[in-house]
Amino acid sequence: MSLVSRDPILLTPGPLTTSLATKTAMLRDWGSWDASFNAITADVRRMLLDIANAKETHVCVPMQGSGTFSIEAAVNTLLPRDGHMLVLINGAYGKRMAKLVQMMGRQVSVFETPEDVPTTAADVDRLLTADTSITHVGLIHCETSTGILNPLHDIAEVVARHKRSLIIDAMSSFGALPVNAKEVPFDALIAASGKCIEGPPGMGFVLARRTVLEKMEGNCTSLSLDLFDQWTYMEKTTQWRFTPPTHIVAAFHQALLQFVAEGGQTARLARYQKNYETLMAGMAELGLKQFLDPKIQAPIIVTVHAPASDNYEFKRFYNQVRDKGYVLYPGKLTQAETFRVGCIGAIGADEMRQAVHAMADALREMGISTKATKAPATKAAAHAL
């Protein structure tokens, strides 16, 4: 049983730890017809476009549900019935995108690299040259399965040069890693409330190129996920088409205000970078190694090799660390025993340092030796002299 009565710190890629101000913004009930609630929705949409410098070219369409609902809405609405989408895969979210395209009955091709190998612009250039029937490219910016970063800028340039359409799953990167619509051409970028903007989970949003979305009336085969209808209804009435997740919208708005107050994307990235560096320094002390080459690692979530000990079992490690107040995330790799640690959320370097201590203590309690357990022992011996 845990003796920790406060909420644990979530070192997970969403839901994540939110600030007290964001949590308390959920303590009000809003009517969906209320002008003050609809003003909040409008402000959220405007602020999201601002983050990507996209207000002249794109519109922001929010959508109820988890992030996947918004990806499905974007693809089903923007990929024509006779379109052909190429999905670039190096993890579970790439596979999920390919699966949802296939399930809606549209043509899909996949290009898959191992989980520790980014897709390159050269790959995409070659694939688009070889198959001129491909109309759309789906890219996962930061593939959260491992934390690998795919080269968005270079790939976007190649897709634009081939005059194809780019759909970006920027779920775990938006707000932390820079995306400027004036420099990175895309037709849709999708993210959600409960990731790097640090809101609660429950809604996603699509930044869609206005001239493209305008033409897609009647293309979507799903009623609730029709992004065109959601957009036109919202433009006409200021309201959400179906019941809005009012508490989530209000809290997400509050999180966006804090995002701006903190200094926007650059400040958010700097904090996450510090979280990541603090975590990695701690992992090195414990003799634990990261799965990815640091050159292709985003400071969002880190995959760490489990200690090579017969005493190690993730479930037990997870429970011990959680009882100390920190929630880890399981690994998603088949080829190696790993666990994941998120660097995002309303947390800083202090929380990361404390999390490292919790992990060190948990490993000791499991009878797993770490370099850190040896270091104090030597110090103590030297002191005794």
In the complex, minimum distance from the CB of residue 240 to ligand PLP, in angstroms, rounded to a whole number: 19
Nearer to ligand PLP, 140 or 251 (CB): 140
Minimal CA–CA distance to 77: which of 213, 235, 178? Answer: 213
Nearer to ligand PLP, 169 or 351 (CB): 169
Judged by CB under 6 A, which of 12, 13, 79, 265 binds ligand PLP?
13
Q: Which residue has the tokens 């929705």?
A: 41
In the complex, minimum distance from the CB of residue 187 to ligand PLP, in angstroms, rounded to a whole number: 18
Is position 152 an interface residue for ligand PLP (rule: CB under 6 A)? no
Q: Which residues on adjacent β-strands are paired with residue 87?
A: 110, 138
In the complex, minimum distance from the CB of residue 51 to ligand PLP, in angstroms, rounded to a whole number: 17
- How many Cα atoms are found within 13 Å in the side-chain-facing hemisphere of 379? 6
Are the CB atoms for 66 and 204 separated by under 8 Å?
yes
Minimal CA–CA distance to 319: which of 339, 302, 346? Answer: 339
Long-range contacts of 312-319 (CB under 8 A, 24+ apart): 312/337, 312/366, 312/368, 313/366, 314/339, 316/366, 317/359, 317/362, 317/363, 317/366
Nearer to ligand PLP, 57 or 145 (CB): 145
The two structure tokens encoding residue 1? 């049983």
Is position 140 an interface residue for ligand PLP (rule: CB under 6 A)? yes
Nearer to ligand PLP, 93 or 291 (CB): 93
Judged by CB under 6 A, which of 22, 144, 230, 320 binds ligand PLP?
144
Tell me the number of residues near ligand PLP by CB under 6 A: 12
Please give the residue whose beta carbon sits closest to ligand PLP in the complex. 67
Judged by CB under 6 A, which of 17, 172, 297, 338 binds ligand PLP?
172
In the complex, minimum distance from the CB of residue 105 to ligand PLP, in angstroms, rounded to a whole number: 21
Nearer to ligand PLP, 40 or 196 (CB): 196
Judged by CB under 6 A, which of 52, 171, 251, 360 binds ligand PLP?
171
Nearer to ligand PLP, 96 or 324 (CB): 96
Q: Which of residues 57-86 bind ligand PLP (CB under 6 A)?
A: 66-68
Q: Which residue has the tokens 């666990």?
A: 339
| Interface characters, 254-273, with ligand PLP (x: CB under 6 A) | --------------------
In the complex, minimum distance from the CB of residue 74 to ligand PLP, in angstroms, rounded to a whole number: 12
Q: Are strands 326-327 and 9-10 parallel, antiparallel or unpaired?
A: parallel
CB-based burial of residue 110 (10 Å sphere; 0-12 exposed, 13-18 middle, 19+ buried)? middle
Is position 12 an interface residue for ligand PLP (rule: CB under 6 A)? no
Q: Which of residues 355-374 bind ligand PLP (CB under 6 A)?
A: none
Radius of gyration for the alpha carbons in the chain, expressed in angstroms and rounded: 22
DSSP string, 124-181: HHHHHHH-TT--EEEEESEETTTTEEP-HHHHHHHHHHTT-EEEEE-TTTBTTB---T
Are the CB atoms for 291 and 335 separated by under 8 Å?
no
Residue 384: its H or E element: helix 371-384
CA 140 to chain centre: 10
| Interface characters, 235-254, with ligand PLP (x: CB under 6 A) | --------------------
Is position 93 an interface residue for ligand PLP (rule: CB under 6 A)? yes
Is position 48 an interface residue for ligand PLP (rule: CB under 6 A)? no
Judged by CB under 6 A, which of 11, 54, 73, 192 binds ligand PLP?
192
Q: Which DSSP state fits 203?
A: E
Q: Which span (166-174, 206-214, 234-242, 311-319) binds ligand PLP, by CB under 6 A?
A: 166-174
In the complex, minimum distance from the CB of residue 192 to ligand PLP, in angstroms, rounded to a whole number: 6
Three-class SS of residue 315?
Answer: helix
Are the CB atoms for 341 and 351 separated by under 8 Å?
no
Are the CB atoms for 17 and 336 separated by under 8 Å?
no
Judged by CB under 6 A, which of 14, 175, 299, 307 binds ligand PLP?
14
Binding site for ligand PLP (CB under 6 A): 13-14, 66-68, 93, 140, 144, 169, 171-172, 192
